[in-house]
Amino acid sequence: MNRLSVIIITCNEEENIKHCLESVKWSDEIVIVDSFSNDKTVEIAREYTSQVFQNKWTDFSQQKNLALEKAGSEWILNIDADERVTPELKKEILAVLNSQFQSFDGYYIPLRNNYLGRWIKHCGWYPDYHLRLFRRGKERFNERIVHESVVVESKKGHLKSCLNHYSYKDLSDHLNKIDKFTSLAAGEMFTNGKRARVFDLLLRPLVKFIKMYLIKRGYLDGIYGLIVSIMGSFSVFAKYLKLWELSRGKSIENSRYTSTS
């Protein structure tokens, strides 16, 4: 059977990391790159693996590429600290590892998102496919400040079982993460030469809401679907508003738009 390394990057994840690691302790190796957490994240992680490294925060892709460099197995499973591998997904992954004839060098895995205690089935949140399982040497993480993803140039397949995702503790946590990630996204857009227009501020948030709530049938998730769709729309508005702020001449150097931890 082929060996599997699980790679995880962390920062102050003591509330999530134990559940995450419990779900992957069956793997051959767990590699964690932590950006100097000041809670019990590292202490908990070391109960499950000796492969815990600390590195000053740069950005998501560089942290994950460092974790990838430390991994020693032929196959890699990339997950976040707020995600958990289900028993059904474990069974599918093991089947891939046990297969003598590999048709694919990477696999998309559907994420099932839990929001305020409710599984969201619409809004574009399910099935939310991400390339998370891949063969070593066939991959690279794209160089993006935020929304990084692994790139596998060769053939890719899809797994059926879900990776459970618990991304927000409550509404305040959701708003805090919107603030953080929209700052990063706006900074990246500004660096790439993009500028905000009136159209972006007025219409893009509306289009996002219509897509999530109507086209992706968020209304079928009741009040939860409405909240998720409004938050999605607000996130788009905040991103372009921050881009507009940068476009007014604010220096991007050493600002909160260029880094996070």
Query: What pLDDT score was predicted for residue 226?
Result: 98
Query: What pLDDT score was predicted for residue 93?
Result: 97
What lies within 8 Å, CB to CB, of 187 at 6+ separation is 145, 246, 252, 255, 257, 258
How far CA 253 is from CA of 88, 91, 101, 250, in Å, comes to 46, 47, 50, 9
| Of the candidates 143, 146, 140, the residue with the CA atom closest to the CA atom of residue 259 | 146
β-pair partners for 76: 5, 134
Q: Thinking of the domain 4-167, which architecture would CATH place it in?
A: Alpha-Beta Complex (3.90)
Structure tokens at 117: 């205690």
User: Which amino acid is located at 20 in the chain?
Assistant: C
Q: How far, in whole angstroms, is CA 137 from its chain's centroid?
A: 21
- Which residue in the block uniquely carries the two structure tokens 């109507």? 214
Query: What pLDDT score was predicted for residue 118?
Result: 96
1 sits in which H/E element: none
Which residue ranges make up each domain of the chain? 4-167, 170-247
Specify the length of the chain in residues: 261
Query: What pLDDT score was predicted for residue 138?
Result: 60
Query: What pLDDT score was predicted for residue 257?
Result: 55
Taking only the tens of pLDDT, the chain with its 261 residues reads 799 999 999 999 999 999 999 999 999 999 999 999 999 999 999 999 999 999 998 888 889 989 999 999 999 999 999 999 999 999 999 999 998 777 898 999 999 999 999 999 999 999 899 999 999 876 667 666 666 677 777 788 999 999 999 989 999 999 999 999 999 999 989 998 999 999 999 999 999 999 999 999 999 999 999 999 999 999 999 999 999 999 887 545 545 555 554
Query: What pLDDT score was predicted for residue 249?
Result: 72
Query: What pLDDT score was predicted for residue 254?
Result: 46
Query: What pLDDT score was predicted for residue 151?
Result: 75
| Calpha distance 127→26 (Å, rounded) | 25
Q: Is the dihedral of CA 20, 140, 128, 243 positive or negative?
A: positive
DSSP 214: I
Indicate the SS3 state at residue 199. Answer: helix
Query: What pLDDT score was predicted for residue 232?
Result: 98
What lies within 8 Å, CB to CB, of 167 at 6+ separation is 82, 113, 114, 115, 177
